Chain A
Amino acid sequence: MGDGPKEDLRGGLEAHLARLWRYALSLSGARDVAEDLVQATCLRAIERADQFQPGTRLDRWLFAILRSIWLNESRARRVRAGQGVIDAGEALSVDGAHEIETNISAAQVLRAIGALPSAQRETVLLVYVEGYSYREAAELLGAPIGTVMSRLAAARATLTRTHEAKDA
């Protein structure tokens, strides 16, 4: 086996960098951590290049790797005492230099999404933004389909309530 699979992987990784970063940001709430998480995902994907089945969806495979790295690292972090809690809403919306200046409503929606419980936020990203079906999301999240539906319904209801309150 030559460098074939690796070259394919290079093209594939490049193509998915931005979406991986967006997923990582929705998980971690911090831009620099998201970048590092993407990098770790790329490294692991390269290491495991021969485990990827050609013809299957590369993006789904990469998302699963990213999630696995995130879970292991955040679990390890939970074990260490005294971690601060930041306002995920603030972190996910925008930080100064990256202000989506012309898109105030996008910033508001991102803030509302950042304020959702993390499991809902992740499920929303996977299903509404990345187009996972309930079944695919349930498989990635290791949760029953009913849970996926509950999270999405709760998120829709909260976002609707927030939006209506804003307009009131």
Chain B
Amino acid sequence: MATSDDDRKLTAYLDGELDEAERAALDARLEADPALRARLDALRAAADRTRAAFAALLETAPLADMRTRLDAALAASSARAAPPWRRGVAAVAAAVAIVAFAAGLGAGRWSVGSDDRLADRDDWRQEVVEYMALYTPESFGEAASPWLGDELATLSRRLDAPLDLDRLKVDDLSPRRAELLQYDGAPLGQIGYLDGATPVAFCILRDGEADAPLASSSRDGFAVASWAQGGRGYMLIGKIPVERLMALARSLKEKTG
């Protein structure tokens, strides 16, 4: 579920990270819109509760233990002039601590992997939004790439998805080029179209995302369609009217699903 633009603006507002113009614009909207004000209050409270809870957590830090270990570490480092095998007990204690740490790492005691993917689900799409701003119509060349067939074959293989040219033609649009990128070690396919003079990108990340229905959002002036299926996250993005983007997205989703 992508975060709404309003939530993002309200968050930046609460965090003092909007510039003067943006802040003034949001203040005007807040004055006129009680629902938006209520949302602001609700979101503000979340950070306040967080701070209070973490302040309470700080009180439970095992300071005595950590001070003892720190003293041992500092003593050990003072004896650093001697080669390792001649360091004193304190140094050995420090070395043992590191071994214990490494052993603890292997004992399977914390979550890894799966919940990182939940953040990636939106993070990678946000990165695409960021770099879309760099594209111009000329970025996609005068005509479709002569290697488009090969490029698509590579994408199909790495993304384990049927991405042939016919499937990727939607409405009057035909792919101009296709690239294989990566995000956090997972293969990311990007297929570029030109809608008139406007770049439109179809991005597919094979990251094992849970299925998600087609959703529309708007970020930084781009219309964005996102969904996930079969362990892949999808995204269609461009500065074109949202109705047109969603129609294209529905076709692509059907043809590549």
Contact = CB atoms under 8 A, between A and B. Distances in A.
A110 B55 CA distance: 11
Contacts of B52: 106, 109
Interface string A107-133: 101100100011110001101110001
A131 to B, nearest CB: 10
Contacts, number: 208
Interface stretch (B108-116, B139-147, B193-201, B246-254): B108-116
Nearest to A82: B108
A14 B45 CA distance: 32
A68 B224 CA distance: 34
Contact of A146 (B63, B108, B129): B129
A6 B51 contact: no
B62 interface: yes
B70 interface: yes
A76 interface: yes
A160 B46 contact: yes
Contact of A17 (B70, B114, B129, B220): B70
Interface string A44-88: 001100000000000000000000000001101110100111111
B57 A150 contact: no
B104 A153 contact: no
A91 B109 CA distance: 9
Interface string B105-149: 110111111111111101100110110000000000000000000
Contact of A119 (B11, B47, B102, B116): B116
A3 to B, nearest CB: 8
Contacts of A30: 104, 109-110
B43 A160 contact: yes
A118 B111 contact: yes
B42 A160 contact: yes
B50 A124 contact: yes
A117 B119 contact: yes
Among B11, B46, B74, B105: residue with most chain A CB under 10 A? B46
Contact of B11 (A73, A91, A125, A152): A152
B49 A144 contact: no
Interface residues of B, number: 66
B111 A87 contact: yes
Nearest to B70: A42
Contacts of A37: 101
A91 B46 CA distance: 21
B54 A125 contact: yes
Interface stretch (B92-100, B153-161, B162-170): B92-100
Nearest to B7: A153
Nearest to B124: A147
Contact of A39 (B59, B97, B111, B129): B97
A160 B42 CA distance: 6
B69 A152 contact: no
B127 A144 contact: yes
Nearest to A97: B60
Contacts of A87: 111
Contact of A109 (B49, B58, B220): B49
Contact of A83 (B8, B45, B69, B112): B112
Contacts of A105: 49, 53
B19 to A, nearest CB: 12
B25 interface: no
Interface of B: 3, 7-8, 10-12, 14-15, 17, 42-43, 45-47, 49-54, 56-63, 65-67, 69-70, 73-74, 77-78, 94, 97-98, 100-102, 104-106, 108-120, 122-123, 126-127, 129-130, 220
28 contacts: A10-B74, A22-B57, A28-B110, A30-B104, A32-B109, A35-B69, A39-B73, A39-B98, A43-B73, A46-B74, A73-B101, A83-B112, A85-B111, A86-B109, A86-B111, A98-B60, A109-B52, A117-B118, A124-B50, A146-B129, A149-B11, A150-B3, A150-B8, A153-B11, A153-B12, A154-B7, A156-B7, A160-B46
